Amino acid sequence: MNKHILDSEVQAYISNNLQADVSKIALLKSPFGEVSSAELAGQIAAKKKSVHKLPSWYAQEGIYYPPLLSIEQCSSETTAQYKAQLAQGHSLLDLTAGFGVDSFFFAQKTAKVYSCEINPELSAISAHNAQLLGAYNMECLAIDGIDFLKSTTQQFDTIYLDPARRHQSSKVFRLKDCTPDVTEHLDLLLAKAKRIIIKTAPLLDITAGLAELKNVSEIHIVSVKNECKELLWVIDQNFTADPQVICATLNDEQKIFAFQLGELHKPMAVASYQPSAYLYEPDVALLKSGAFNLIGARFGLHKLHQHTQLYESDLFLPEFPGRIFKIENRLTLNELKKEKNLVGNVIVRNFPEKAENLVKKYKIKPNHDHFIIFTQTHEGNWAIKAKILQHY
């Protein structure tokens, strides 16, 4: 950690060059003897990346930024604030703190946070920023979190960890393929804390995760703007009941769709398709949960097709976590061929052609508010012309 980066003239240079080309700055001679051009470029790039992802850091003067990769991999403020609500008790141990974003928000909810980061420089950066941001109850430890847990006699109310995948190129992964290996250390974790919170990438299959873990009480599927950001596995000591699945959509308004996992296995009548006034497209968090029939049952919607995760209703339900469209017209593909001057953003759902091909084929011009949804219903393939009423 080069403390000369915190000098007032260096900080001013960083702020004044946020719109500059960082690749050019990296090649120029540095105007500061103690700070290299590469360091200046790195600070500028990381700060620019933080403007929307970490607005509290961006707004605070004197923040020391880590390498850009750390900013890209850390939680956003939005998701960190959400997971902070899951902590219980007065003490929390963050085993894999990284840049310290999650630790910081846990410190807003918990009396004491121990933030472990094996990289000494990253730990020092996190400690510096925590003091600037007022998280005085956050203690940064430059140590391997599992080693610390093995050596300490302390008990914690909550332990949080974000295991890193060892094989990033693999499309399918297991928790045992991550560092630290939660499956290997789960008994140790449960012996040291009442609650364990594990963050994983949304790619992890829920059934596979449950097969590797035990005492799972809650599974949180967290999305922002219809992008599934993370899965959160809450493990409580001695919990053996049916876990709850919580789909959390963190947009301008937070919406929650929760159910007991066992509900997915109960027989459920699916309302027969009938043309209606409004079309509903669930947020990706709901789709990740696999609660396709339950979505319709909860909101009184009927599915367009068994394998089409679109729904219709004559009621407008703004509490629905997803997009809502007002249906203007339904057209068979033969009828669509006769249409002139078609406009609308093209959506393809359970349909045999790609959106870009359909745009060319039917000469469809884009439009911000209007959509043409190509999909399969129980009556065959249709194009539904609709106006959007609610975004994600």
Q: Residue 143: exposed, middle, or buried by beta-carbon count in 10 A (0-12, 13-18, 19+)?
A: middle
Tell me, yes or no, whether 267 lies in a domain.
Answer: no
| 93, 165: one domain | yes
Place of tokens 């407008």: 316
Three-state secondary structure call for residue 330: strand
What are 56's two structure tokens?
Answer: 């509290």
Tell me, yes or no, whether 289 lies in a domain: yes
In the beta sheet, which residues pair with residue 158?
A: 92, 195
Same domain, 99 and 34: no
Q: What is the dihedral of CA 75, 79, 81, 86, to 10 degrees?
A: -110
Number of domains within the chain: 3
Domain assignment present for 230: yes
Determine the pLDDT at residue 350.
96
| Torsion, CA 108, CA 110, CA 112, CA 114, rounded to 10 | -80
Q: What are phi and psi of 164, to 5 degrees?
A: -90, 135
CATH number of the domain encompassing residue 194 = 3.40.50.150
Q: Residues 100, 243: one domain? A: yes
What was the pLDDT predicted at 167?
61
Last residue of a domain, one of 17, 37, 65: 65
Asked if residue 332 and residue 243 are part of one domain, the reply reads: no
* Residues 222, 309 within the same domain: no
Which helix (H) or strand (E) element contains residue 29?
none
- Please indicate, yes or no, if residue 269 is contained in any of the structural domains: no
Alpha helix ranges (H) inside 99-181 = 101-109, 120-132, 145-151
- Asked whether residue 30 is domain-assigned, the answer is yes
Shared-domain flag, residues 15 and 85: no
Same structural domain, 199 and 97: yes
Q: Is residue 270 part of a domain?
A: no
- Judge contact between 65 and 49, C-beta under 8 A: no
pLDDT of 14: 97
- Return the DSSP state at 391: -
Instruction: Give the pLDDT score at 226.
Output: 96
Name the domain boundary from 235, 262, 289. Answer: 262
Q: Do 285 and 255 lie in a common domain?
A: no
Residue 273 covered by a domain: no
pLDDT tens, per residue, the chain with 392 residues? 999 999 999 999 999 999 999 999 999 999 999 999 999 999 999 999 999 999 999 999 999 999 999 999 999 999 999 999 999 999 999 999 999 999 999 999 999 999 999 999 999 999 999 999 999 999 999 999 999 999 999 999 999 999 988 765 555 578 988 999 999 999 999 999 999 999 999 999 999 999 999 999 999 999 999 999 999 999 999 999 999 999 999 999 999 999 999 999 887 666 666 789 999 999 999 999 999 999 999 999 999 998 999 999 999 999 999 999 999 999 999 999 999 999 999 999 999 999 999 999 999 999 999 999 999 998 899 999 999 999 98
Supply the pTM of this predicted model: 0.94
Residue 170 pLDDT: 55
Domain-ending residue, one of 228, 262, 296? 262
| Same domain membership, residue 211 and residue 82 | yes
> Helical H runs in 194-261?
206-212
Structural tokens at position 23: 């690749």
Whether the CB-CB separation of 389 and 366 falls below 8 Å is answered with: no
Same domain flag for 228 and 351: no
3-state SS of 31-58 is CCCCCCHHHHHHHHHHHHHHHHHCHHHH
The whole-angstrom separation of Cα 267 and Cα 117 is 47
Domain of 375? 278-390
Q: Are residues 98 and 242 in the same domain?
A: yes
Cα 203 to chain centroid, rounded: 11
25, part of any domain? yes
